[in-house]
Amino acid sequence: MKYAVKKLPPVEWDLLEAAVWYDQQLDGLGDRFLAEVDVAERSLENQPLIYGARFDDVRCVRLKQFNAYGIYYVIRQNEVWIIAIFHGSRDPEELVALRRRFDV
């Protein structure tokens, strides 16, 4: 079964903010970050259940080259809802608050 991958509104902002930061560190690094996120997101279309739950039913796929980042998501029927693309140094309570705010 193929899952539809959807994102909560704040996800795009977090993604762009991280890409800009990486580009400021090294030209082109932001594009590499975005490309890796894209690969990880596409993997969720086919196999979202292979990644473990971090809390409740929120799962996480870690990025390979940017391993401080994870894509946090929940599965609802045939949809994967990405609730955050999150650096590991951020407060995990932000994830809980996002989930509650958008009720996914």
* Long-range contacts of 47-55, Cβ-Cβ distance < 8 Å, separation of 24 or more: 48/3, 48/73, 48/75, 48/80, 49/75, 55/92, 55/95, 55/96
Q: Which residue has the tokens 């090294």?
A: 26
CATH of the domain at 83: 3.30.2310.20
Residue span of the structural domain in which 32 resides = 4-102
Please count the structural domains in the chain: 1
Mean pLDDT of 50-76: 91
Task: Tell me the per-residue pLDDT of 65-102, one tens digit each, with 9 for 90 and over.
Answer: 998 999 999 999 899 999 999 888 888 888 888 778 77
Task: Say what the pLDDT of residue 71 is.
Answer: 94
